[in-house]
Chains A and B, each alone.
Chain A
Amino acid sequence: MNANWILPSIICVLALPALGQQSLDSAYRTTGTAVLAAFEPQRKVLQTSSAVLLDGRKEIGYGVVISSEGLILAKWSEVDLVVGLSVTVDQTTYPDVKVLAKDPRWDVALLKIDASGLVPVVFASTSDLAQGTWVVANGATTRTTRRALAGIISAKSREIPASGGAALGVTLKPNSKILEVIEVHEKSGASDVGLKHGDVILSIDGKAVKKIEELGELLKDRKAGSTIQMIIRREGKEILLDVRLSARGELFTDQMNRNDQMSGEYSPRRSGFPRVIQHDILGSRHVQGGPLLDLDGRCVGMNIARANRAESFAIPVEELKLLAETLKKQTPN
């Protein structure tokens, strides 16, 4: 069923005050200063072990400090292509930021700043937290002071399939009897392996393909981030390539639906994650990438997407630890 999600259009609530109306002062609301004061121990962890990513003066994301010498995990799609990237940890700003490695599947980059004596996060032993468990993440920040936002674990941990399915990231010649590539999307796995205009796709995972429909059928049940074996013909020669499939949503901006329209600044890359934990902390796309903490101040995950107004995703600590190790190994010495 292609259902519409029911919620009446946004209604202006700045109506005249009604008789007998009672209103809670903003300080005592869930995002208010008085309530967040109860999360001071966790905020202190964010102060030293989260990184603020800046494009000039603009805050574009956060990061997780994972070593005392300045290794930081960040949300790749928010820092990609940023020219004047700098990083603030605690009260020190580091203008020199190197991108050491990246993982397109998780949308995570490993950054390095020239620092020493930083306080890395302490990883929790599990991300398997009951729904209703408090979690804390970065809110907005001042130059010197991190702020916390709090929420709860709000749904089951699970895979978030790529929206729109997996895509190769190529445009094929229309109305042709062969699969001739006429354009390659620059952010796709096809581009990574050097596929180019004029190449002809002959087979996928050993199956011959000639029609666009056949190609679509073969890719239909594949997952974004997985790899296919493709034989192409280029200048008369057959070449074997291992191509990573992209999430359609990574390559093309999704069409906004009604839920998106009421979601403010959600993360453009918000699907295609092997597993996430979900919480209800109200952060914009520009506060993603930082650690998700439990009440003990331990890192239970890394905030990776604000999916919409009511749902935020984090990479679970189990996968995050493995990912950090993998990215470190990819790093050229």
Chain B
Amino acid sequence: MTVLLLCGSMRLNAREVVNDLTAPESRKDLETIQKSVERVLPQARAATVCIEIDEGSGTGVIVSKDGLVLTAAHVATGVKKKATVILEDGTRLKAETLGLVADKDAAMVQILDRGTYPFVEIDRAESTLLGDWVFSLGHAGGFDKERGSVVRLGRLVRIAGATFQSDCMLIGGDSGGPLFDLSGKLVGIHSRVGQQAQVNMHVPLAEFVANWDGLINGEFIGEGPYAEKPEKGNGYLGLATDSRSGGGLIVTKVGLKSPAELAGIKNGDVLLKLNGVNLEKREQMQEILKNLSAGDEVTFEIERAGKLKTITFNLSER
């Protein structure tokens, strides 16, 4: 029994010989690929999650049992943003984006709900070689419980700088999803596609490993093109106010289709607090907004017709 178990574990780490053939030569070679995928797929699927941030839906993959998720920077869109992570069975979890590398399309997300989550091993050894058989998972076109995440098989066809190219076909919604080798180790994160269906690009895991601490610490690393650095003071609320004797600011105008209007703030509402700070003068609100950016969340406590209400929404871009 011990021997069998040992064989099993050795096999998991061994490189499949089929990877070193220029092409599969026999039915046995094809079956080797198939069996490898079948063996590692259940764990890979369980760790693959859908990520919803603002109005976007992408994919990510859990890499630790406490719910650290790797995804693409253009899925995260920013650091410290609210996100929803959806597990394979449809469970929706609260999450937050950590750091991102804007020029490499790498990002991390942390699941905030406590739990023990299914996760995959990452390829820290950069063991992937050109021609290796790989498979991709992703919530193509968004989460679909009936369908589950979609698996596609291909080979690593190009390695150029900070990019892997495979012939696993990707589409919108797959972004941030995992690329695995035949041993089930995570080797890349889906990033972008070319005009031809055979052209699909992934961020190699090495880019995550190289920036690991900064990503964990919520840093915004690098400049564009996959995420835009937030600019302080460019958030738009869409309100005009007057100060009121006895405290609070009275709303005198609400911008058409502004974030404030969409959140349900009305003329005549009295704004008592913004993000926990008592509002006495208009300047106070301006001071708080100066330190916020488009996309940031604001929470108002308001008084309407004698009743207290809390309204939370996100600033848009000015």
Interface residue tally on A, bucketed by range: 35 or more
A109-121 contact mask (Cβ, 8 Å, vs B): 1 or 0: 0000000000000
CB contact list, B183-209 vs A, under 8 A: 191-195, 197-199, 201
CA distance A38 to B96 in the complex (A): 46
B150-190 contact mask (Cβ, 8 Å, vs A): 1 or 0: 11111111111100010111111111100000000000000
Kindly list chain B residues whose C-beta atoms are within 8 Å of the C-beta of A81. none
Kindly list chain A residues whose C-beta atoms are within 8 Å of the C-beta of B225. 8
Asked whether A29 lies within 8 Å of B155 as measured between CB atoms, the reply is yes
Interface of chain A, main secondary structure = loop
CA distance A131 to B40 in the complex (A): 11
Asked whether A23 lies within 8 Å of B154 as measured between CB atoms, the reply is no
What distance in Å separates the Cβ of B196 from its nearest Cβ neighbour in chain A? 8
Asked whether B194 lies within 8 Å of A4 as measured between CB atoms, the reply is no
Kindly list chain A residues whose C-beta atoms are within 8 Å of the C-beta of B56. 3-6
Kindly list chain B residues whose C-beta atoms are within 8 Å of the C-beta of A183. none
Q: Does B131 reach chain A (CB closer than 8 Å)?
A: yes
Q: Which of A29, A35, A311 lies at the interface centre, i.e. has the most chain B CB atoms within 10 A of its CB? A: A29
Interface residue tally on B, bucketed by range: 35 or more
Total number of residue pairs linking A and B with CB closer than 8 Å: 203
Q: Which of A12, A22, A27, A310 lies at the interface centre, i.e. has the most chain B CB atoms within 10 A of its CB? A: A310
Kindly list chain B residues whose C-beta atoms are within 8 Å of the C-beta of A280. 150-153, 168-169
CB contact list, A1-56 vs B, under 8 A: 1-8, 10-13, 17-24, 27-32, 34-35, 37-39, 41
Kindly list chain B residues whose C-beta atoms are within 8 Å of the C-beta of A310. 140, 150, 152, 169-171, 174
B158 to chain A: closest residue by CB: A23
Q: Does A132 reach chain B (CB closer than 8 Å)?
A: yes
Asked whether A262 lies within 8 Å of B193 as measured between CB atoms, the reply is yes
Kindly list chain B residues whose C-beta atoms are within 8 Å of the C-beta of A154. 150-152
Asked whether B152 lies within 8 Å of A132 as measured between CB atoms, the reply is no
Asked whether B159 lies within 8 Å of A22 as measured between CB atoms, the reply is yes
What distance in Å separates the Cβ of B29 from its nearest Cβ neighbour in chain A? 7
Kindly list chain B residues whose C-beta atoms are within 8 Å of the C-beta of A295. 27, 30-31
A-B contact pairs, 16 of them (CB 8 A): A3-B52, A3-B57, A6-B74, A18-B160, A20-B160, A23-B160, A24-B131, A24-B155, A29-B167, A31-B198, A35-B24, A132-B34, A134-B33, A152-B151, A154-B152, A156-B148
Chain B contacts to A: CB under 8 angstroms? 22-27, 29-31, 33-34, 37-38, 41, 52, 55-58, 72, 74-75, 130-131, 135, 140-142, 146-161, 165, 167-176, 191-195, 197-199, 201, 225-226
14 further contact pairs, Cβ within 8 A, besides A7-B192, A35-B155:
A1-B55, A5-B56, A5-B140, A5-B173, A7-B171, A8-B191, A10-B192, A11-B192, A13-B201, A30-B198, A32-B23, A152-B152, A262-B171, A310-B171
